[in-house]
Amino acid sequence: MHPHERLLLGPGPSPVSQRVLRALGAPTLGHLDPQYLQIMDQVCAQLRQVFRTANPLTFPVSGTGMAGMECVAVNLVEPGDEVIVCVNGVFGLRMKDVMERCGAVVHALECPWGETFPREQIAAALAAHPRAKVLGIVQAETSTGAHQPIEDLSALTRAHGALLVVDAVTSLGGHELRVDDWGIDAIYSGTQKCLSCPPGLSPVSFGPRSIARMDARKTKVQSWYLDVSMLRKYYTGGGGGRVYHHTAPINMTYALHEALAIVLEEGLDARVARHAAMHQRLRSGLETLGLKYIPSRSLHTLNCIRVPDGADDAGVRLRLLEEYGIEIGAGLGPMAGKAWRIGLMGHGATVRNVDLVLAALGTILRR
């Protein structure tokens, strides 16, 4: 087994530093070994810094970003609860599906794919559904490259007694994100995007209002594996010491520890600024090639562009992969065959990578 090395400039996973890969190879410990528990506690503290939160219940769920989505949903939603989910792409749709599987009555708030929700539309939905207990929204819609403003939504949700739940899978570590300052009640992300760690863990954070909602549940959480009432006893210890729940992915925790150390060494503000600068460099080059962005408000971390007339969508992507070793993403859903998605995330958001993908794509399109 000798996989070819690729330059991962798609929607994820992103390129991984050698420092992180070396951390994966450290000796495996037991999941209750004092050394491992110390490392795990450090990871939770690092995550609080990256999320910009003081929430004690901040930890990495064992599973990819979708495990984080399910963890938030199954713990905060009970059968019959009304929730509002904002849908403007694949991952809004997926959140809606997951909430429905929890037995929720979901009111889908929709806008065209590639667009974002104005505050007024969200306010109107909350007013129309006063029994809604959750507002779910995607900050970084990976399927369309749309960047949703969420800074001032908590004032709306709190006025209506609803929790604000945010999908930050493609924004954590690459875009401005302030859990406490913005009043986010529950949030989830993934390791394989802007944190530049291999896929396999999903950072989550639950605020005081979410914890109060979980503590007041009348029904058992439908997922044993993702039940936070048990997980918190392992990750925080509570008042009675650590309680075994499941065998944590030990070596992935090492990798995340190193990836978060890299993030914090760079500094969050500097890291966000770097992603913005690389996005502008890529955007300028793509527009020079005559390519157009689909979203009206684009992510810095995920650039979604329209496939030009006459270009072979799959053929161009295949040539990038085979001739240059560069992976970019295809369009999803109604954008299948019509869009390319170029990720600039974490370790991959560099001048070298931007200029390389521009040169390769320009050569292929001229042919």
From 264, 292, 321, give the residue that closes a domain: 264
Q: What is the pLDDT of residue 123?
A: 98
Instruction: List pLDDT tens digits, range 272-287.
Output: 999 999 999 999 999 9
Same domain, 253 and 353: no
Same domain, 321 and 232: no
Host domain of residue 344: 7-12+268-366
Confidence category of residue 242, pLDDT binned at 50, 70, 90: confident
Is the per-residue pLDDT at 315 higher than 70? yes
Same domain, 143 and 198: yes
From 217, 238, 264, give the residue that closes a domain: 264
Same domain, 290 and 355: yes
CATH label of the domain that carries residue 248: 3.40.640.10
From 240, 264, 288, give the residue that closes a domain: 264
Q: What is the pLDDT of residue 238?
A: 60
226: tokens are 């993702």
CA distance 270 to 261: 14
Please state the domain count of the chain.
Answer: 2
Judge whether 77 lies within some domain: yes
Tokens 């037991």 belong to 30
Judge whether 44 lies within some domain: yes
Confidence category of residue 351, pLDDT binned at 50, 70, 90: very high
Same domain, 172 and 300: no
DSSP for 230-278, please give it.
HHHHHHT-TTT-----S---HHHHHHHHHHHHHHHHH-HHHHHHHHHHH
Confidence category of residue 51, pLDDT binned at 50, 70, 90: very high
Is the per-residue pLDDT at 1 higher than 90? no
Which residues face 140 on adjacent strands?
Answer: 147
Same domain, 291 and 232: no
Q: What is the mean pLDDT of residues 21-49?
A: 96
Judge whether 349 lies within some domain: yes
Which residues face 147 on adjacent strands?
Answer: 140
Does the predicted model carry a pTM greater than 0.95? yes
Contact criterion met (CB below 8 Å) for 219 and 79: yes
The verdict on whether omega for the bond into residue 3 sits within 30 degrees of 0, i.e. cis, is no
